[in-house]
């Protein structure tokens, strides 16, 4: 598996896909997602999408060149006649740098709008600014989820070296909220002993609020064997060597080596405390710790059809 940290630029490759809408189920909740790219140039050390089937995840970005055509074909098929909503995207950032070259996310969004499909975009990129007008004309049926982990630039440069500076992200978010587009901030992951303390969380919530965001949520870091190897390096580089033992003995309670590709969550009491901390800070600020209802306008009489369950999002990304 590639290391997340390098100064080299990734290689872009094109490939064709046979199918683009994928179903997922998390804790009994069902959803649909599309991923116009495979791999991601944002290079987050904690990334959950670095699976064994994509060993060069950070360094070789595949652009699914026929993605918009395949999406349109699938939407027109009987199977996807009544789509509630689509997540863009679950295993890559659809507005990563490759989008400047290929524009595949934009093409997919045009298709979703053409067929009246509500969507929600997860990103931590400024490149989405290019499509502000596109999203604005569809603002009743879309919302944007900004994944922000920290406002500390030293930490961001280390844990997410391919992402833009956080100040510039908040400026872009403000442009979207000013344009009337519903934006949420997803503080995911909250990283134990690095970004989950009240000061950090307060900073992210505060700056999100100032950028016009009214919805916030988050989730605590989960570990997997490859993520743990990267996290150990991150903790050492941040001079938090003692935290390595604390992760193993107190917060996650596991023995090395971790079983390959198994997820390990923090112990319940630690997770509850971290999420309670986020909840209190958000409520103090007058923000909503929830996920907006994407179908509020397209299905005015339905309380049942939420775009996706908040729990699902918390656990999925
Ligand atoms: S932006 Fe998302 S998909 Fe890309 S590296 Fe970061 S966590 Fe992974």
- Domain presence at residue 216: yes
Which of 312 and 105 is assigned the larger pLDDT?
105
- Domain presence at residue 37: yes
Identify which of 35, 92, 95, 218 to mutate to test ligand 1's pocket (most ligand atoms within 8 A of the CB).
Answer: 92
Number of residues that make up the chain: 317
Q: Across all residues in the chain, what is the average pLDDT? A: 91
pLDDT value at position 48?
94
**Which residues have C-beta atoms less than 6 Å from ligand 1?**
40, 42-44, 47, 49, 92-93, 124
Dihedral pair phi/psi, residue 131, rounded to 5°: -100, 20
Residue 215 CB partners (closer than 8 Å, separation 6+): 182, 183, 184, 185, 287, 288, 289, 290, 291, 292
Report how far ligand 1's centroid is from the alpha carbon of 316 (Å): 13
Q: Is residue 25 very low, low, confident or very high in pLDDT (cuts 50, 70, 90)?
A: confident
- Domain presence at residue 46: yes
Compute the distance between CA of residue 157 and CA of residue 22 in angstroms, rounded to an integer: 32
- Domain presence at residue 3: no
Identify which of 46, 94, 124 to mutate to test ligand 1's pocket (most ligand atoms within 8 A of the CB).
Answer: 124
> Which CATH number belongs to the domain containing residue 287 in this structure?
3.20.20.70
Query: 51 pLDDT exceeds 60?
Result: yes
Report how far ligand 1's centroid is from the alpha carbon of 91 (Å): 7
pLDDT value at position 53?
81
Q: Could you tell me the pTM of the whole model?
A: 0.91
Domain range for residue 250? 11-316
How many domains does the chain fold into?
Answer: 1
pLDDT value at position 8?
87
Total Cβ atoms within 10 A of residue 230: 21
- Domain presence at residue 269: yes
- Domain presence at residue 4: no
- Domain presence at residue 231: yes
Report how far ligand 1's centroid is from the alpha carbon of 278 (Å): 22
Q: What is the pLDDT of residues 228-257, one digit of tens each?
A: 999 999 999 999 999 999 999 999 999 999
Residue listed under structure tokens 């390595």: 244
pLDDT value at position 55?
87
Q: What is the pLDDT of residues 63-106, one digit of tens each?
A: 999 999 999 999 999 999 888 899 999 999 999 999 999 999 99
Report how far ligand 1's centroid is from the alpha carbon of 303 (Å): 32
- Domain presence at residue 156: yes
């Amino acid at each position: 598996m590639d290391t997340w940290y390098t100064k080299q630029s990734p290689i872009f490759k094109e490939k064709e896909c046979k199918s683009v809408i994928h179903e997922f189920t998390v804790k009994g909740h069902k959803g649909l997602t599309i991923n116009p790219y495979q791999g991601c140039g944002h290079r987050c050390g904690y990334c959950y999408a670095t699976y064994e089937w994509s060993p060069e995840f950070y360094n070789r970005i595949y652009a699914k060149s026929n993605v918009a055509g395949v999406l349109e074909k699938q939407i027109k098929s009987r199977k996807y006649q009544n789509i509630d909503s689509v997540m863009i995207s679950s295993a890559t950032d659809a507005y990563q740098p490759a989008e400047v070259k290929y524009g595949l996310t934009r093409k997919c969004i045009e298709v979703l709008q053409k067929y009246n499909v509500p969507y929600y975009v997860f990103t931590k990129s400024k490149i989405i600014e290019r499509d502000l007008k596109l999203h604005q004309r569809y603002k009743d049926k879309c919302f944007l989820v900004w994944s922000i982990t920290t406002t500390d630039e030293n930490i961001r440069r280390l844990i997410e070296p391919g992402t833009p500076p956080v100040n510039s992200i908040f400026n872009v978010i403000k442009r979207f909220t000013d344009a009337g587009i519903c934006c949420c901030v997803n503080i995911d992951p909250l990283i134990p002993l690095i970004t989950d303390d009240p000061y950090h969380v307060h900073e992210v919530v505060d700056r999100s609020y100032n950028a016009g965001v009214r919805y916030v949520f988050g989730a605590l870091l989960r570990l997997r064997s490859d993520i743990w190897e990267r996290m150990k390096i991150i903790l050492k580089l941040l001079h938090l060597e003692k935290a390595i033992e604390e992760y193993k003995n107190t917060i996650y309670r596991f023995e090395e080596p971790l079983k390959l590709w198994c997820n390990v969550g923090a112990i319940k009491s630690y997770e509850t405390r971290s999420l309670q901390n986020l909840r209190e800070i958000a409520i103090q600020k007058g923000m909503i710790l929830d996920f907006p209802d994407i179908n509020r306008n397209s299905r005015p009489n339905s309380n049942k059809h939420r775009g996706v369950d908040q729990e699902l999002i918390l656990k999925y990304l």
